[in-house]
Amino acid sequence: MNTITILLLLLGFHIAVTERIPTAIRSLAAQGALLALLPFLASPRPLWRAAALGFATVAVKSVAIPAILTHAVSRLEIKRETESLVSTKTSVLLTGVLSLSAFVACARFGLSGQDQLGAAAGLTLLFSGLLMMTTRVKAITQVIGFVVLENGIFLFGASSGSEFTLPIELGIFLDLFVAVFLMGILMLKIQRTFTHMDVRKIHTLKD
Amino acid sequence: MPSALPYVLAATFLVPGILALLIRDPCRSRVVGFGGGAVASFLGLVLTLVGAMREAPVRIPLPAPVPWAASELFLDGLSAFFLVLVFFIGFLVSVYAIGYMKEFDARRRGQAAPLLLNLLLLSMAFVVSAGDMLSFLLGWEAMSLASYFLVVLNHEKREARQAGLIYLIATHIGTGGILLAFLFLVQTTGSFSFNGFATVPISDPAILCATFWFALLGFGTKAGVFPFHIWLPYAHPEAPSPVSAVMSGVMIKMGIYGIVRFLFYLLPSPPASFGATLLALGLLSGVFGVLYAIVQHDLKRLLAFHSVENIGIILIGIGAASLCQATGRPDAARLLLVGGLFHVLNHATFKALLFLGAGAVLQGTHTRNIEKLGGLMRGMPLTGVAFLAGSLAISAVPPFNGFASEFTIYRGLWAAVGGAGTGGIYLAAMAGLALIGGLAVVCFVKVVGTVFLGNARSAQASAARDPSVAMEFPMGTLALFCLGLGVFPSIVLDRLMEITSFLSSAGGPASVAVPAAGGKPFTVAIALAIAIGGLWLLRTFLLRRNGQRAGGTWGCGFPYATPRMQYTASSFADPILHVFRGILRPHTTRTERLSGRFLLEVEHETHFHDLLENGLYLPVYRLFVRAAFQARRLHPGYIHLYLGYILGAVVLLLVFFH
Amino acid sequence: MKFVAHITLFILLGPLLVGVVRKTKAFLSCRQGASVFQPFLDLWKLFRRGIVRSTSASWVFDLSAPVVLGASLVLAAATPLWSREVPLPMHFILFLYLMALPRFFQTLAGLDTGSAFGGLGSSREVAVSAMAEPALILSFCGLAYLGGADTVSGMVAVVPPGRIPWRPEVILLAGTMFLLLLAENARIPVDDPATHLELTMIHEAMVLDHAGVDLAMIQLASGVRLVLFSAIVSGILFPQALSLPTFLAIPAAVVKVVLSGALIGAVEAGMARMKLSRVASYLLIATVLAAIALSVRYAG
């Protein structure tokens, strides 16, 4: 469990600092696959529930969403570089500061050992997802940030000791899937209408 | 200790200085003046080592300057330690000055230099041994003025006059701060002597805070702590090199002395926030100092920025010590304070050495621009070796003394981390210290590499030769001390542990000078000596067998390599500049001259402006100037108006203050 | 006796590790590759050759190779390779700062020949290692905290108490140390040890003018330093191997070094060299990871 948490964290960092979109998508898929193991480890009984959750996680997070994103990249002919409003160095620094504050915050919660690590890692992913959404230029990287954020919530939930409730989790997956799907369609529309995907320029629509 | 000794010592400093003014022949005047200073310093050093250190605390009453307050010299362990510093560096620098100040022979102003230098040394000795506020301020002011006149000794140069002015303003703002801090203490305790201050604690937290901040402003300005360091990179390069050595090695430490005196002696039980503030300022000074140093091309200005850095390291030790003291970890506090004070001594040793080395380079080549130097190791081998030793020491490379003190600070921080809760601060300090150390290596590899190694980049550089014995002797001695204090640090550390014994807890260790397990610098130094020596012999043997021949540097197939094609100091600093460009903010201008499509000339210039200088001090200065112009309207020159002012003032006084 | 064995093992494993890395790289890129013992032959050849000494060089250049190798050997004497008892126990701060000594002289030697390549390599070398310094200190602090000792041998060799041997901070610290291993030893994402005459290289540019005996010493020192870092990383992950009896511990140490060689080789085969301006981010990530490991330690 700890190993998985650490790997999730490292993948989160990787997504946050990589400058190539396909790499980020691949890491996102890997993160989904790792997340799928969590139900088995956190609350393995009853097995069918864990299996169903794991299956759903893999299906949505490491197959469907990466597929949609990859499709969007190739369909929209987006350039491969993630563009950011701040330099890589700054975003690493910010991610580092945020993750340290997540760890400090979790230490204050008074959780113990394993749970604390998971909660902190979840919080870190949540923060870094949000940071990605705030600082990135392209809509597609914001979607990636959104998924990272959701992964963080999942991890946080898994570690905070509460049971997985199947209907709620499945509902969240459905929401996520629909959200990413819609964003994909929207990106396509934006691309067609404005011939670019620079979110900075959307503010011209405000009138 | 007989009470006449201080007067005798003062006389030995001042009489040769005055004699030097009277002697016509500049050469003889130099020998008498500086030689007298050297003798006096040596005498002082011996007296301190055999007398004051053993007998401390020593009290010697002085004739009172004002009727309502008694004056005295009060020498405790801390004072004695700083006295050693003053006299040790003073002695070597005075010897050096005999040789170096030759360049002032032609100028009449040069005749005053011995008196001023001796006065500076004497006043610093007076500052650290003063036992009451009035004598302290008297010494402090004498020190500031003497050093000001030494900075403007090259008064024909505009830069020197400007540097002197900035220094004069900064130092007087500082004196104002110190005066206010003392006045708060006087108001609370009703006493003028340091012992009196220490007995009555300040109960009002607001007054305590104000006292601390004014003291920090005053002593921080003198020490060159980060936001107040602005004068330092101007004044140090413009002063003659021996003076820079004294200013950087000893005089800025008077600020540290003041901070330690206030924090650990005069203000009983300061709150944790003071220590934390000092720690933060120390980290800022360290990082900014070394970053600005890396991008300098002026050898002495670069060294001046390194003073800011090292003051930062000292403050990290002292600040963390105060923080530990306030949070109930006296053993860590003691180790940290010892580390900070040890670094005071070490910095004095290697920085004086580096400034003296820079002086020798300046005398040999007449330029401070390191881009014009190179290959000096051939013409000035002794200076080169000494400078290399100083560089290794300032970069905290074991087994040199810079490492010994940083190591003590690290061990104090590590001991402080052990306690739960606030460990993060100390860990951050350790990481910061590590970054500072790494960047210092960058800077000094750059300096030694461009100044002393490779090929000469100009005719002056290839013609430079080692200076006279009077200048070599101090450099050699200091270089030996850099190594010696690094290999045998316990000589100083044991003394410092005694001085700081008031910090220890009941069961605290009597001597933690050398870590119990591993890391004895001496063992490592021996191991290094054996390994390197053995390999050197092996290399010599193999080369004798296999043969060695001289050839040009391999130019990777390009012939006609010239010295100008060597890597320059600016290129060397570029990777760091690139990474930290957000902080350093280089201003680059580039002009190209084209003829048709052919590029004839490119001019590329990069400047660095101090972030604070442009962002904070310049606007304040402009505001001040504008206000002064407004105020000028008040005195248009009519005598009737002035009389009116006097009348108004008298009326107002009578109305408001019965 | 033990001292001699310790140092000899380091000296022998150095070239072997370099050979293993090269072989793995060749294997993964479907090449035959030279034998893993090739570096030994290279060193033998270099030790028997004379040198061409640059006319611009001074004694600093001559001294550089002995200092680099000598200091690396002293560092090796403090590193636990097959036993937790080392010939020269050393405080971890002293250990880290002692690494600056060979670097100082090697970079000076790079500048001493007056060649632009040497300066370029030196400049990058010092910049990279300066930025690696906070990460190194923090991860060593973490290790010292875990091991409950402040000597290098003590902190690496202690099995951390706990239910499972690989607690999160152990994994994080091992990962950080591996990132630093790559950066400090001029391996691929930071530097490329296989290129020559590229403006992008760091270490190789610096030693361009070293030949014969000098070059052999410097290459040997690089090998020793690589073993030193590998020993620390594998010591963190498999501390049990250090408490085995000697006749088992030495083969175990060799296996560990060979395995880490294979790992380094795999990384080198699978990655491209980063552009230089990204190295700062890379090292910043290492620093952040070390800081996280410490905060995990504090939290848990």
Q: pLDDT of A85-107, one tens digit each?
A: 777 778 888 888 888 888 777 77
Contact (CB, 8 A) for C170 and C210: no
Q: Does B645 touch chain C (CB under 8 A)?
A: no
The verdict on a CB contact (< 8 Å) between C284 and A10 is no
| Number of separate helices (H) and strands (E) present in chain B | 28, 5
Contact (CB, 8 A) for C221 and C213: no
Question: Which residues from C are below 8 Å from A5, CB to CB?
Answer: 168
Angle in degrees, 0-180, between the axes of helices C168-184 and C212-237, rounded to the nearest 10: 170
Q: Which of C163, C288, C294 best probes binding to A when mutated, by most A CB atoms within 10 angstroms?
A: C288
CA–CA separation, B359 vs A165, rounded Å? Answer: 77
Chains contacting C with at least 3 CB pairs below 8 Å?
Answer: A, B
Mind telling me how many Å the CA of C117 is from chain B's nearest CA?
A: 8
- Nearest CB partner across the interface for C104, out of B407, B445, B574: B445
| CA C118 from centroid of its chain's CA atoms | 21
Query: For residue C225, what are the CA distances in angstroms to A29, A70, B442, C103?
Result: 37, 43, 21, 12
Looking only at the bridges linking them, the beta strands covering B598-608 and B71-75 are unpaired
Dihedral of CA atoms C179, C183, C185, C186 in degrees, nearest 10, equals 130
Two structure tokens written together for A119: 């909660």
pLDDT interval class at B515 (50, 70, 90):
very low
The verdict on a CB contact (< 8 Å) between C217 and B441 is no
Q: Which residues pair with B605 in a beta bridge?
A: B589
Q: Which helix (H) or strand (E) holds B589?
A: strand B586-595
Contact (CB, 8 A) for C74 and B527: yes
Contact (CB, 8 A) for C285 and A10: no
Nearest to C258 by CA among C40, C14, C83: C14
The verdict on a CB contact (< 8 Å) between B571 and C119 is yes
In chain B, the residue whose alpha carbon lies closest to the alpha carbon of C53 is B550
Residue B507 has pLDDT above 80, yes or no: no
Return mean pLDDT, chain A. 77
Q: Rounded mean pLDDT of B227-242?
A: 89
- Nearest CB partner across the interface for C89, out of B455, B517, B552: B517
Better pLDDT: C181 or A189: C181
Contact (CB, 8 A) for C229 and C96: no
Q: Domain residue spans in chain B?
A: 273-504+567-609, 611-656
Looking only at the bridges linking them, the beta strands covering B548-551 and C51-54 are parallel
Chain C stretch 97-126, residues whose beta carbon is closer than 8 A to a beta carbon of chain B: 97-98, 100-101, 103-104, 107-108, 110-120, 122-124, 126
Q: Which of C292, C294, C297, C298 best probes binding to A when mutated, by most A CB atoms within 10 angstroms?
A: C292
- Nearest CB partner across the interface for B551, out of C54, C63, C100: C54
Query: What's the pLDDT score for residue B643?
Result: 78
CA–CA separation, A39 vs A34, rounded Å? Answer: 10
Contact (CB, 8 A) for A27 and A15: yes
**In chain C, where does DSSP find H-type helix?**
2-28, 38-47, 59-77, 92-98, 100-112, 116-147, 152-157, 168-184, 203-206, 212-237, 246-270, 276-299
CA–CA separation, B58 vs B55, rounded Å? Answer: 6
- Tell the residue number behind the tokens 């299956």, with chain if given: A55
Question: Which residues from B are below 8 Å from C53, CB to CB?
Answer: 548-551
Q: Does A3 touch chain C (CB under 8 A)?
A: yes
Two structure tokens written together for A107: 């230490």
Three-class DSSP category at C98: helix
Three-class DSSP category at C91: strand
In chain C, the residue whose alpha carbon lies closest to the alpha carbon of A16 is C285
Beta carbon pairs, B and C, within 8 Å: 272
Residue B315 has pLDDT above 90, yes or no: yes
pLDDT interval class at B518 (50, 70, 90):
very low
Task: Report the residue count for chain B.
Answer: 658
Q: Rounded mean pLDDT of B260-288?
A: 90
Q: Which helix (H) or strand (E) holds B605?
A: strand B598-608
| CA B79 from centroid of its chain's CA atoms | 18
Q: Rounded mean pLDDT of B382-407?
A: 94
CA–CA separation, C224 vs C11, rounded Å? Answer: 6
Q: Rounded mean pLDDT of C157-170?
A: 61
Chains contacting B with at least 3 CB pairs below 8 Å?
Answer: C
Two structure tokens written together for C12: 């022998």
- Nearest CB partner across the interface for A96, out of C164, C168, C284: C284
Q: Which of A6, A13, A89, A106 best probes binding to C when mutated, by most C CB atoms within 10 angstroms?
A: A6
Two structure tokens written together for C125: 């070398």
CA–CA separation, A98 vs A120, rounded Å? Answer: 11
In chain A, the residue whose alpha carbon lies closest to the alpha carbon of C298 is A107
CA contacts within 13 A on the Cβ side of A98: 22
Q: pLDDT of B56-113, one tens digit each?
A: 678 888 877 677 777 888 888 899 999 999 999 999 999 999 988 887 777 766 788 8
Question: Which residues from B are below 8 Å from C123, CB to CB?
Answer: 446, 567, 571-575
- Count of beta carbons in the 10 Å neighbourhood of residue B228: 26
Query: For residue B391, what are the CA distances in angstroms to A180, B306, B329, B612?
Result: 59, 11, 34, 28
CA–CA separation, A184 vs B484, rounded Å? Answer: 70
Query: What's the pLDDT score for residue A32?
Result: 87
Residue B510 has pLDDT above 60, yes or no: no
- Nearest CB partner across the interface for C141, out of B396, B427, B534: B427
- Tell the residue number behind the tokens 């009853």, with chain if given: A46
Residue B52 has pLDDT above 80, yes or no: no
Looking at residue B265, what DSSP letter applies?
I
Q: Does C217 touch chain B (CB under 8 A)?
A: yes
CA–CA separation, B375 vs C169, rounded Å? Answer: 49
Three-class DSSP category at B591: strand
Query: What's the pLDDT score for residue B505?
Result: 56
Query: What's the pLDDT score for residue B203?
Result: 76
CA–CA separation, B406 vs B493, rounded Å? Answer: 12
B242-280 burial, b if ≥16 CB within 10 A, otherwise e?
A: bbbbbbbbbbbbbbbbbbbbbbbebbeebeeebbbbbbb
Better pLDDT: B635 or B50: B50
A84-93 burial, b if ≥16 CB within 10 A, otherwise e?
A: beeebbebbb
Dihedral of CA atoms C225, C227, C229, C231 in degrees, nearest 10, equals -150
Two structure tokens written together for B58: 């020593």
- Nearest CB partner across the interface for C116, out of B396, B566, B574: B566
The verdict on a CB contact (< 8 Å) between C197 and B578 is no
Residues 6 or more apart whose CB falls under 8 angstroms from that of C109 comprise C57, C60, C61, C64, C65, C118, C206, C207, C210
Return the amino acid letter for C60.
V
Q: Which of A2, A101, A115 best probes binding to C when mutated, by most C CB atoms within 10 angstroms?
A: A2
Query: What's the pLDDT score for residue B291?
Result: 93
- Nearest CB partner across the interface for B454, out of C51, C107, C111: C111
In chain B, the residue whose alpha carbon lies closest to the alpha carbon of C146 is B418
Return the amino acid letter for B656.
F
Residue A169 has pLDDT above 80, yes or no: no
Q: Does C48 touch chain B (CB under 8 A)?
A: yes
- Tell the residue number behind the tokens 């054996």, with chain if given: B530
Two structure tokens written together for B137: 């301020």
Q: Does B375 touch chain C (CB under 8 A)?
A: yes
- Count of beta carbons in the 10 Å neighbourhood of residue A119: 26
- Count of beta carbons in the 10 Å neighbourhood of residue B542: 21
Mind telling me how many Å the CA of C285 is from chain A's nearest CA?
A: 7
CA–CA separation, B499 vs B188, rounded Å? Answer: 27
Query: What's the pLDDT score for residue B65?
Result: 67
Q: pLDDT of B548-573, one tens digit each?
A: 888 888 777 777 677 878 888 888 98
pLDDT interval class at A80 (50, 70, 90):
low
Residue A45 has pLDDT above 70, yes or no: no
Return mean pLDDT, chain B. 87
- Nearest CB partner across the interface for A116, out of C280, C281, C300: C300
Query: What's the pLDDT score for residue B221?
Result: 94
Q: Which helix (H) or strand (E) holds B256?
A: helix B252-260
Looking at residue C88, what DSSP letter applies?
S
Looking only at the bridges linking them, the beta strands covering B598-608 and B586-595 are antiparallel
Domain of A54, in residue numbers: 2-206
Count: domains in chain A:
1
Count: domains in chain C:
1
The verdict on a CB contact (< 8 Å) between C288 and A89 is no
Q: Rounded mean pLDDT of A27-51?
A: 81
